[in-house]
Amino acid sequence: MADWLTSLKTDTPQEGFELAITLSRKGVGYTQTSPDVREKLRADYAESADSLTMASQVIAIHYQTVAAANNYWK
């Protein structure tokens, strides 16, 4: 796969959050490599509260990593 992640450093906590979202999606993308299938699945789970909560949880876990990497933007 082409380079998509060269650093965990971000300028702001919000950019770090968005990086956490990217990491979450990449975790899916390495397993389901078809963008078409992913798009179809997204349409489904975006209508399910529990699926959205689960997705939010993965983001939360990655955000712990990104925040630590940035020393919590202190």
Of 35, 36, 39, 74, the one binding a second copy (CB under 8 A) is 74
Pick from 9, 45, 48: nearest CA to 25: 45
- Residues 18-57 touching a second copy, rule: CB under 8 A, are 18, 21, 23-28, 30-32, 37, 41-42, 44-57
Minimum distance, C-beta of residue 3 to a second copy, in the bound complex (Å): 6
# residues contacting a second copy (CB under 8 A)? 53
Q: What is d(CA 35, CA 19) in angstroms, rounded to the nearest whole number?
A: 19
Q: What is d(CA 23, CA 43) in angstroms, rounded to the nearest whole number?
A: 20
Is 62 a binder of a second copy (CB under 8 A)? yes
